[in-house]
Amino acid sequence: MQYLKLPTADRAALRAALARMPEDLAALFGQLNDAAARERRAGQAFSPVEQVWHLADLEREGFGLRIERLRRESQPQLADFDGDAIAAARDYRSRSIHAGLAAFAAARADNLTRLAKLTPTEWQRAGTQDGVGAVALCDLPVFMSQHDAAHRAEIEAWSAAAP
């Protein structure tokens, strides 16, 4: 119920920050050449191209799927999203950073549109997520924000370790 407990101004600020994340990534990574986009620095598990594809896939297959299932199903059991395993299986490092940035931007916009259309009753709909426990739709914007913050910190460490 984290999101619903926030004052209206804080909810708006949280939504604005979520909407800015794709723009911020494009500003940071959009000019990287292929070699730089694939470079891992400062002990980071993900290079920039891996960061953006992880964010894109999690946005669609994690947050997007959870939003839809919580909205439509009664008490769904939601799978965890194993980002490391998916990154390896899908070989994110071989992909285009520009396609990843576009995929993330589109998926984030879709999720923000879905969230904006929720009714007060739908915000209360809940289920259980593997590895997390009880979750409600009104928790997801905060979870998304926390996930963005973790990746921003990783990206800052990557940038600070520039050769």
Closest by Cα among 54, 61, 67, 104 to 80: 61
Q: In the chain, what are the domains?
A: 2-160 (1.20.120.450)
Instruction: Determine contact, residues 13/149, Cβ cutoff 8 Å.
Output: no
Q: Is 9 helix (H, G, I), strand (E, B) or coil?
A: helix
Predicted pLDDT of residue 126: 96
Give me the percent of the chain exceeding a pLDDT of 70: 99
Predicted pLDDT of residue 1: 58
Residue 160 tokens read as 């600070």
User: pLDDT for 54-93, tens place per residue?
Assistant: 999 999 999 999 999 999 999 999 999 999 999 999 999 9
The arithmetic mean of pLDDT across residues 92-113, rounded, is 97
The arithmetic mean of pLDDT across residues 30-57, rounded, is 92
Parallel/antiparallel/unpaired status of strands 126-129 and 77-78: parallel
Predicted pLDDT of residue 67: 97
Residue 163 tokens read as 């050769």
DSSP character for 7? -
pLDDT at 42 over 90: no
Give me the percent of the chain exceeding a pLDDT of 90: 83
Instruction: Determine contact, residues 55/92, Cβ cutoff 8 Å.
Output: no
What's the rounded Cα separation, in Å, for the pair 90 and 87?
5
Binning the chain into helix, strand and coil, the percentages to the nearest 5 are 70, 5, 25
pTM of the model: 0.94
Phi, psi of 117 (to 5 degrees): -90, -5
pLDDT confidence band for 7 (50 / 70 / 90)? confident
pLDDT confidence band for 43 (50 / 70 / 90)? confident
pLDDT confidence band for 53 (50 / 70 / 90)? very high
